[in-house]
Amino acid sequence: MALRRSRKRHILPDGATVAVVGAGPAGCFFAFRLLRESKEQDRSLRVVLIERKADPHTGAIRGCNGCAGGISPRLADALQANHIRLPSDVIQTRIRTVTLQGEWKNVELRVPDDRRMYAAFRGALPSRRSARTRGLDEFLLRLALAEGAELLAGEVQEFRRRADGGIDVCYRVGGETRAKAHWLLADFVALATGVNHTPGLPFREQRFLRAILPLLPRFRPPKIRRTLVAEVRIASRSLRPLLGEAFFGGYGSGRIRIEMSSMIPKREFLTVVLIGPTVDRAQRGDGQAIIAEFFRLPHVQRILPLRFEAPVACLCGPGIPVTAARGYVADRVAAVGDLAVARLYKDGLYSAFLTARALADTVLQLGVDARSLREGYMPVVEKLRRDNRYGRLVFLLNRIAFGNRGLSRILYQAILTERKSKPEHQRRLAQILWKIASGDDSYRRVFFSMFHPKAIYRIVVGGLLVTLRNVATEAVFGLKWEGFGRYPTGLHREDFVAKKTDILPILEAFGLGHTPDVERMYSIRVRSTPARILRELGRFGDPDRQFFRPRFVDVRRVAGEPNRVGCRVRYKLPFPRLSFQVELVSVEPGRRLVYRVLDGFARGGLLLFELDRCQPKCHLLSIYVGFNFPRGRNVIQRLLWRVFAIFFPGFAHDVVWNHSLCQLKHLIESQ
């Protein structure tokens, strides 16, 4: 960050002391940047971190995590650019899939191959971690100490300005008011305490705020909103299928009003963060009941294992800034991190890094006087403030879209249509949602991309129109979404190609060819064993089965035994010429069932069920349907079959099997 010097700047001389009050991410990022850059400039500074929650002997940070602990792609990039490598005992999981919870269905977004997203614990809690792990704050503190910073384990009591402009910092070891007062003579003070100095007490009533007013007489703190953060202990075997995923929601119910939620699995714990009116109004002791009610929400139950028990290992209610501070700089002092500004609801760690970097560069390149700080540091804070205005609109639109069943269905369908028809780099809607969920772009750019003509077109054509068609199809076939969850079943275009390559030898062996006239493929994740999944698939054709029962189509087993070669299933439709039979012609135990169409217009086609292991006790159930239309024996027949092919409602197969796969998942997982 190149800054231009002006006249009458106050530049820190060699040997100057910089006091950093607070050794959280913002304070440690600032100390690290300041020391590393000063060394490159052959300057010598003394940087002292003062942290009341630090262990003076080990450097460990005591206390709560205070947030979800997500490390966004942009923060991961920033750490890499500064040659900071997160060790394995800090990273709890690498996030590979982001799931946005919708009233209709969840939208699953893969983390792009060139992006990295992690989850960590911030503090020392929960205390009963089975493996030795470090909190992110402790790691960053040790990083700053290794760069040359000093650590004072104490609590700041007051500040006094000296006649020469310097600042005396009074602190007491352990924070005890009767303990001996110590004084640190500082040439510059960075206030990096965050907004949760005294947990449970509104920030504007906290004593520390009164202590900094002599230094920043015009300081107006940011507005704070309460959150509810819970660490829920879950048996590792139950949590294992969820590892590598992050779940974000934007709505609750009539009983629990939630505007934002996140669930991030971390080995044997599930970190839950809630924001909303219910949390705003909560009293002390309400946290456990709110978490329990949250877990009962239908869209949350679609994610969690059945018979889920949620013992809360630790619970806290930290505040987060939802506006920027005012008057946060003065001669030789500046607030940094959450105390100045934070990205709205997302990626506060990255905004801590941005503000810390900007402040450190300003101190070194311009100076520590108020004018220098306003010119070099304030533009970064103000840019975040302006961007948060767009953030409010983005999250409002997001809540409206995902919290309404009709709108959620339209958006899901638009994304599915795009996913099946466009290559990854052209999926505009998925990119917008990815940036909202991950914080991988500014809110301003996200907001305007939401109203791009191409985005609107895809929502209308690929979402609204297709949804209307599907609703009508469900009505015709008597399909009702009752008594089971709604789950994603559509494949990415690249997954379809990969899967098609995998089964191509089967298609060629049965004479279907490389590109049948009609091809459909669907998949769904099922948390169960192959034996249980195949046992339920064996009921395909049973009169009392609880899946694949479309109106007007009588599907019955007419010969053979379930899942045995020779098993025949008849599809009887009101129009006899459209009826046909399928026969099980190949069985790969524990993996694959291949049915072949024996007669009718789809004669020679294939119906294939296949299982692929994606996690321990979690399998991907895929269904492939492919057939060719008859070619006809003469010109008239060829013309008629060509017309039939044009008007053949292949989408009806999508609608019926989408419904049936969700039924299958529910039946299998509830056993």
Whether residue 6 is predicted with pLDDT greater than 50 in this model: the reply is no
> What is the pLDDT averaged over residues 259-266?
92
Per-residue pLDDT at 658: 96
* DSSP run (H or E) holding 437: helix 428-438
The span from the CA of 385 to the CA of 300, in Å, is 32
Helix H, strand E, coil C: the string for 71-93 is ECHHHHHHHHHCCCCCCCCCEEE
The CA distance from 293 to 484, in Å, is: 19
The backbone torsions φ and ψ at residue 316, rounded to the nearest 5 degrees and listed phi first, read -150, 165
Helix 348-365 × helix 25-40 angle, to 10°: 30
In percent, the amount of the chain with pLDDT more than 90 equals 70
* Alpha carbons 444 and 389: distance in angstroms, whole number: 8
Neighbours of 282 (CB within 10 A): 17
Same fold, 16-87+123-221+324-385 and 493-669: no
Q: At what angle do helices 443-450 and 428-438 cross, to 10 degrees?
A: 150
Run of H or E residues at 364: helix 348-365
606 touches 595 (CB < 8 A): yes
Q: Which residues of 483-511 are buried (b: 16+ CB within 10 A; e: fewer)?
A: ebbbbbbbbbbebbeebbeebeebbeebe
User: If DSSP codes are grouped into helix, strand and coil, which group holds residue 281?
Assistant: coil
C-alpha 529/C-alpha 494 separation (Å) is 26
**Percent with pLDDT over 70 in the chain:** 93
- Rounded Cα distance, 338 and 382, in Å: 13
What architecture is the 493-669 domain classified under in CATH? 2-Layer Sandwich (3.30)
- pLDDT, one tens digit per residue, over 213-224 is 889 999 999 999
pLDDT of residue 514: 84
Instruction: Report residue 46 as tokens.
Output: 């003394």
- Terminal Cα distance for the chain, rounded: 59
The pLDDT assigned to 55 comes to 74
**What pairs with residue 618 in β-bridges?**
615
Q: State both tokens at 301.
A: 């139950």
Q: 337 with 27: CB under 8 angstroms?
A: yes
The single residue listed with the structure tokens 């979404």 is 481
Is the CATH number of domain 16-87+123-221+324-385 3.40.50.150? no
Range name among 50-59, 302-311, 331-340, 582-591 with the lowest pLDDT average:
302-311
pLDDT in tens, 352-367: 999 999 999 999 999 9
pLDDT (0 to 100) of residue 291:
92
How many other C-beta atoms lie within 10 A of the C-beta of residue 328?
A: 26
The pLDDT, as a whole number, for residue 646 is: 87
Q: pLDDT tens across 462-520, in order? A: 999 999 999 999 999 999 999 888 999 999 999 999 999 999 999 999 988 888 999 99
| Residue owning tokens 């009963």 | 128
What is the mean predicted confidence (pLDDT) over 238-265? 87
User: Given a cut of 80, is residue 260 above it in pLDDT?
Assistant: yes
H or E element in which residue 170 lies: strand 167-173
Report the SS3 class of residue 206: coil
Please provide residue 198's backbone torsions phi and psi, each rounded to the nearest 5 degrees.
-120, 95
Phi and psi (nearest 5°) for 661?
-65, -40
What would the two tokens of residue 157 be? 């009591």
The segment with the largest mean pLDDT, out of 65-79, 186-200, 397-411, is 397-411
Do residues 609 and 520 make contact, with C-beta atoms less than 8 angstroms apart? no
Instruction: Give yes or no for residue 5 having a pLDDT over 50.
Output: no
- Helix/strand/coil for 627: strand
Q: What is the mean pLDDT of the chain?
A: 90
Question: CA-CA distance, 646 to 446, in Å (whole number)?
Answer: 39
- What whole-number distance in Å separates Cα of residue 20 and Cα of residue 440? 29
Size of the chain, expressed as the number of residues it contains: 671
Over residues 614-642, the mean pLDDT reads 89
Beta-bridge mates of residue 155: 172
Domain ranges of the chain: 16-87+123-221+324-385, 404-477, 493-669
Of 86-95, 186-195, 301-310, 622-631, least confident by mean pLDDT is 301-310
Upstream peptide bond of 87 is cis (omega within 30 degrees of 0): no
DSSP string, 219-239: -BPPPEEE-EEEEEE--HHHH
Highest mean pLDDT of the ranges 201-215, 390-404, 604-618? 390-404
Query: Do residues 53 and 138 lie in contact, with contact meaning Cβ atoms separated by under 8 Å?
Result: no
- Alpha-carbon distance of 579 to 572, in angstroms, equals 5
CB atoms within 10 A of CB 185: 11
The secondary element (H helix, E strand) that includes residue 19 is strand 16-21
Per-residue tokens: 85: 């490598």
Position 235 pLDDT exceeds 90:
no
Q: Can you tell me the distance from the alpha carbon of 559 to that of 575, in angstroms, rounded to the nearest whole number?
A: 22
- Cβ(62)–Cβ(55) below 8 Å: yes
